[in-house]
Amino acid sequence: MTVHVPPRVPVRWRIFGFLFAIGVLEYFQQRGLTVAAARMMPDLQFSQMQIGWVEQAFVIGYALCQLPGGVLGQHWGARATFSGIGVVSVVCIVATVIAPEVWSGTTLFAALFALQFLLGVGQAPTFPVSTGVFETWFPPKHWALVQGLQTMGLGLGGALAPPIIAILMTRAGWQQALLWTAIPAVPLFLWWAYYGRNNPREHPSVGAEELALLSDPASERANAQLTLAELWLMLRNRHVLLLTLSYFAAQYTYYLIGNWCFLYLVQERHFPVLASGWLASAPPLAAGIGSAMGGVIASALFTRLGSRRGFRIMPLLALPAAGLLLIATVHAQNTYGAVALLTVCYWLIELTEGSYWAAVMTVGGKNSMAVGGIMNTGGSMAGVLGIPIIAYLSGHGAWNATFLLGTVLATAGAVAWFAIDASVSATGDAAHVVR
């Protein structure tokens, strides 16, 4: 009889490692274009508004396919879905690098817009599907923790992009810099296609001990097929809608700092390109730390207070504080002080990620991928609507107005949490209601 020897690192944490690495890579790819924009605009003769539209194309595709991505992820499973994401990412980035060699002017702008849109479509399922994976592979007490830790990877990817892309494009040009964002995706997604599985029971390395830990009924249903009736029920659910609206409000500031910090430091605070690259890495690095801390705290609050009160505390405290720091940034006289304020602001915004995404899992139940897609549609719409507004205002030198709008929205996002009850299931399945 063969004796099963459990791996030194539990399989669930290996699966998490893949999703963490995918998040790092995708945000490195996304932020790469925002940094390369400083050289793309003069090289391609694009205006700041045009480069804003190219960046927005990604967000439009990303926003439109959040819910479809979550639904298809439930249908196809995580293994196939993430493999497809890898193929789309590599193809779109390589084509972006090649496009200026083939086209110019309006045709080039249209091509880059289309490629960024397709990249957004391809990467849209990532976090809704990750939510279903975490629900399947981890017990409820760890849901906020793994969500916060994965979001930390996004901050890490965003922090790596400004200095690395700035160095590469000063030495080899922006096209070579962007190409290097695609190369690591090939081995990562091939390895995932070989090792990844949709749930623990499918994985040959998962033993009885780990299965017993993951035997919560929710994990058995996380890959359930979604019916139209269930989808309609979720779309009308008050708590799902409030989560979506609150996430929209919070994510405006996320896109403001994440996508525009580099250009803000160059244009408004007058830092050189290389210095801006290094300084622009501080906010996403702090955000990564904040998301991990927020996940740990939200998990502890969930264990002590339950999902209704435990997930509410962090957004109620962190979002208004972030709004106040945006106002302080506007009035900061010291340029390095402004960078410090933006860094702490981004840290505060990301403290809430574990609460938002763990709430998706308790509210969404067996359809957490789809509910995650709904909520992240709202978050992505903050980019769809916010990016052209920020591009227009910043292009006319009105950076302060973009920050003040973030203050208003962050406060509104916090207020919505007074009416959100994360203990109530949107699926109508009373068995999944979490205290």
Match 């997930």 to its residue by tokens: 311
Does any domain span residue 248?
yes
Q: Which residues contact 148 (CB under 8 A, 6 or more apart)?
A: 291, 292, 293, 294, 295, 296, 298, 299, 353, 354
pLDDT of 413 > 50? The answer is: yes
Does any domain span residue 1?
no
Q: Give 147-166 pLDDT, tens digit per residue.
A: 999 988 887 887 788 889 98
Match 């699926």 to its residue by tokens: 427
CA distances, 310 to each of 131, 247, 347 (Å)? 19, 17, 19
Q: Average of pLDDT values for 418-422?
A: 94
**Number of domains observed in the structure of the chain:** 1
pLDDT of 340 > 80? The answer is: yes
**What's the chain look like in SS3?**
CCCCCCCCCCHHHHHHHHHHHHHHHHHHHHHHHHHHHHHHHHHHCCCHHHHHHHHHHHHHHHHHCHHHHHHHHHHHCHHHHHHHHHHHHHHHHHHHHHHHHHCCHHHHHHHHHHHHHHHHHHHCCHHHHHHHHHHHHCCHHHHHHHHHHHHHHHHHHHHHHHHHHHHHHHHHCHHHHHHHHHCCHHHHHHHHHHHCCCCHHHCCCCCHHHHHHCCCHHHHHCCCCCCHHHHHHHHHCHHHHHHHHHHHHHHHHHHHHHHHHHHHHHHCCCCCHHHHHHHCCHHHHHHHHHHHHHHHHHHHHHHHHCHHHHCCHHHHHHHHHHHHHHHHHHHCCCHHHHHHHHHHHHHHHHCCHHHHHHHHHHHHHHHHHHHHHHHHHHHHHHHHHHHHHHHHHHHCCCHHHHHHHHHHHHHHHHHHHHHCCCCCCCCCCHHHCCC
pLDDT of 267 > 90? The answer is: no
Does any domain span residue 3?
no
User: What share of the chain in percent tops pLDDT 70?
Assistant: 92
pLDDT of 115 > 70? The answer is: yes
CA distances, 231 to each of 240, 361, 384, 419 (Å)? 11, 15, 24, 22
pLDDT at residue 45, rounded to an integer: 93
pLDDT band for position 214 (50/70/90)? Answer: confident
Find the length of the chain.
435
In degrees and rounded to multiples of 5, residue 429 shows phi and psi of: -95, 100
Q: Regarding predicted confidence, which is higher, 301 or 215?
A: 301
pLDDT at residue 4, rounded to an integer: 53
Q: Average of pLDDT values for 265-291?
A: 77
72 close to 93: Cβ distance less than 8 angstroms: no
* CATH value at residue 52: 1.20.1250.20
Q: Give 78-93 pLDDT, tens digit per residue.
A: 999 999 999 999 999 9
What global pTM score does this model have? 0.82
Q: Average of pLDDT values for 14-32?
A: 94
pLDDT of 290 > 60? The answer is: yes
Does any domain span residue 6?
no
Q: Range of 123's domain?
A: 11-432
Average model confidence (pLDDT) across the chain: 88
Does any domain span residue 230?
yes
Does any domain span residue 233?
yes
Q: Which tokens in the block code for residue 394?
A: 């910043």
